[in-house]
Amino acid sequence: MSTPSVSALKKSLRTAVRSSLKSLTPATSVEASKKITDEILASSEYKEASNIACFLSMPSGEVDTRDLCASILSDPTKALYVPRVGLDFSQNDMEMVEVVGDSYSVISSWATNKWAIPEPPSTLTSVATPTTLDLVIVPGCAFTPGGRRCGHGRGYYDSYLSKLEKKPALIGVGFECQLRRNEEDVPVEQHDVRMDRVFVG
């Protein structure tokens, strides 16, 4: 009997995690997201960073980053960058765009893409260079305590992070059901980028 390929193992893992995420209650999601936000804000990686990239969360099934983004925007010593991938996701590419404003209401006013995620408008033209970012908050499907990450399958973050000339600190975030205690339970390939820290709630 042949050994399953890494891609097949990843597919199976994604299916299992997505099934678990569907059982999360709104209250659990809110509590976990607050815990993760507090841990990030207290971390040395956050305190030492000036330019921070953070994903904008989907309405469900993902750690809510609204409070974290709001905290970054309210801090005059820090700049927030968020992903721009296109309203229809037709291009498997991503850039990080600086948010202009000091509250989350700026982001709330943007149009959303097909995943109901706010998308930075074309009027925002300050894009992070390969040496801009000090910290990136990374979403994913599954993580291990040691920093292994299985993404959602499109490769946006692995592709983007691999192009950076200055390595930022990488923090992966997810719910408890997305954590796999054994490193081998999250299969990785050569192109998969390892996180420096993983916070789960």
Q: What is the pLDDT of residue 118?
A: 94
Per-residue model confidence as pLDDT tens digits over 5-47: 888 888 888 999 999 999 999 999 999 999 999 999 999 999 9
Token readout for 63 is: 């750690």
Per-residue model confidence as pLDDT tens digits over 95-105: 999 999 999 99
Q: What is the pLDDT of residue 2?
A: 45
Who wins on pLDDT, 169 or 151? 169
User: Element (H or E) spanning 170, and its range?
Assistant: strand 169-174
Question: Which of the four pLDDT bands, split at 50, 70 and 90, describes residue 91?
Answer: low
Q: DSSP assignment, residue 139?
A: -
In the chain, where the domains are located: 6-200
Question: Which of the four pLDDT bands, split at 50, 70 and 90, describes residue 200?
Answer: very high
pTM: 0.92
Q: What is the pLDDT of residue 89?
A: 60
Sign of CA dihedral 143, 161, 18, 198: positive
Q: What is the pLDDT of residue 1?
A: 34
Q: Is the pLDDT of residue 3 over 70?
A: no
Per-residue model confidence as pLDDT tens digits over 103-156: 999 999 999 988 899 999 999 999 999 999 999 999 999 999 999 999 988 788
Domain 6-200 belongs to what topology? Answer: Rossmann fold (3.40.50)
Q: What is the pLDDT of residue 92?
A: 67
Q: With contact defined as beta carbons under 8 Å apart, do 73 and 103 qualify?
A: yes
Q: With contact defined as beta carbons under 8 Å apart, do 50 and 79 qualify?
A: yes
Neighbouring CB atoms inside 10 A of 197's CB total: 17
Q: What is the pLDDT of residue 113?
A: 87
Cα–Cα dist 66/82, whole Å: 12
Q: Which residue has the tokens 């498997």?
A: 92
